Structure 1
């Protein structure tokens, strides 16, 4: 049993008991298919092979898993430990999450989304106590989502001082290599370090379509009835905004806070600072990204949430997540799941939102030409409302009468594949020339120093629709 100074391990043992994991052996779950085509697999395997070359004479097994604990690959030059790991099913094609194997290095790293070292007797299953396991989560460098983990396992009597450091290095190199091979896409911004922020809106929100109003009313009614609400949807779709608007309808003068999860290694400090706000009168906390919380943090929040209920029975908190797949400890708390549809399914909302963001950016209304309005409405908005807000803020900073030339090239193109930096620059130049008032393909070709046939070929290559530039 973990010592008293290991709260994460104790919490993991409790979860293992809850899952019904046998204490004497791993409950093997085998998958007949392993994704060997993913960027994680390609980059992780390359990094682990390089690391294994430096550890050729060491009894260390290097493994790569997906986000669910499925072992994707295993590299080891020691026949003894390889055969031993086969006997406990720590091998490609087997799941080794906490729910299958109890407390173990990679399962704990995935559950808590933080580097983890589990030694000998700290394992829940007795059959694993002959090993020491160090594992580190690998995050997708573009989305920030949990992609998988790197796991290093050795005999329990071996020195483990450097094992976790090696795993951290391998995970970092894997994430960096994934970014380098993402064909010019920009990395996800790092967390801004804010613990929580006041949610306020200086302008009345625009009247949006029924596709937005329906989940808004659903959330309001659920809150009014004292039900705990989880708002789900794609990143940037407006989950926090919908939760806040529903609370504003319910309690006009309520203080609204938005707590957004930080980097995994900062979660404990993050909780310690803002969690006391939950107990304050006339305060509601919107806890964003509940699905990204480490298992231990979710358990602590769940216990706190269960003790909270305002005088009229209304829960003083709302959760948001990408889907309803929140940590197991939070799932029983949720009474109602409300889904916010992505912006591409709400084309009637694009222009009202654009006008709202322009007004907010300039402090006064802005105008959109018909051509600009058509271009905005026709775009798919893969990053949803967050992307629309960013585009409009930049356009409104340039002009109060927003036309095609004030919009970025991304609005006019749909290449269907990732572009490298040179391709993106070329696309942007073509769009810049075509967005000039009255510009034609012939004039754009002259400005670019290209033949007309070449420009038409480039238009097809980058998915640029010339009709979007017509007035």
Structure 2
């Protein structure tokens, strides 16, 4: 029986090293199997079912078994040719929904193939987990023929010391049939999307069709959309669960309304109508004097653009800004004198940036003027309202007109336009642009630093590249993770940030990271998969 990496083939030895780095030992690797639901109606099982039925008929009555895992490493289908194989799997808990990722159970012909994206035979003692050393297996990756994204792994396993040399061609042929069925089903979806696009055919209205592997637009849409607009629409479709109308600002600055409709049968497909927004012409209204001086509250987390929004939020010019930082640097008395002088001048707008950081006596001074509803108008800036207390909370409560800025991570559809503006502000050449892949990666980030952090990323890119397309590999390494499959709630963003920080602090050592977080290694892996933590 193999016990040391010196005796192992190179790919097996490297896999053992990865398993050890993940905190596994040969004796405990199967002690904490995790289970989760499998999408039984998804494209993988739909394409594989008939192929596996035929393969399993050929193997009936033999000592061979077949296992199919999805791209998350979960057993999607299990079949055993005899009672011995079925009993062995049952005793180990290897049933539908179990995770066979290499980081969870060590070297095996399914998880290791997902890790390396290449087929592999693993015989007896080459398995990392001791209980698996009774088996010999051959695993082969299943790729979608158009996207080249890995969809899963097919494995044939036997209770024997060494796998038959006939297994690789047998498995490879079955995988080829599954991949062909994936392609055929993709073509059916594309045909449905194409039919919807053609049915909507109009020369005047901008129409776009977006599928998993398909993008179509008519001439009217091509005239409207730039490269960042296309990336924005792809992100919109990725988040679309039902028909929806969304207002967007295009790369050109044109404001449009997008009417998005799901196309039945097209997985991830939607038909989009893009209409420029035409503002209604209405007679100007007289503004009541008391409303003209009503205070405005702009709130949001640090870096969300709240100070910039505050400067833009008043039509009453000029706008003068007084910050809480100046009260700290120059003293409360100097701040009070400046505020008093602005009040006596009675003109424009005074923006008080950071009311939650002002001392109580200065808050009282601001509140006194606010209560009078006289010029100058006040625009108050603070952090999230739910975090305010005391006098700052009371002052914020006096403002009935509010503008709440959400964290950047909760508004990924704004990223293309924000990046475009930042490139212009940094003096980048007009040809410098982010590709859809780079923008998708940015939309997946938690952005704890909000706009400041995004600007730092864009600045990094501009310092290294002045023209051309910015692809995924040209982003800072920590920002190259691909998009999650679902939107994260605010609490999940916070949880993700904590886990990433722990992993970075311990140089990727998951055992130490889990210990520092006070959770088990199994829980850490489950969280990393759920929160799509792949780069740290």
Question: Normalising TM by the smaller chain, what interval?
Answer: 0.3 to 0.5
The structure having more radius of gyration, on CA atoms, is 2
TM-score (norm 1): 0.45
Of the two structures, which has the highest relative contact order with CA contacts closer than 8 Å and spacing of 6 or more? 1
TM-score (norm 2): 0.40
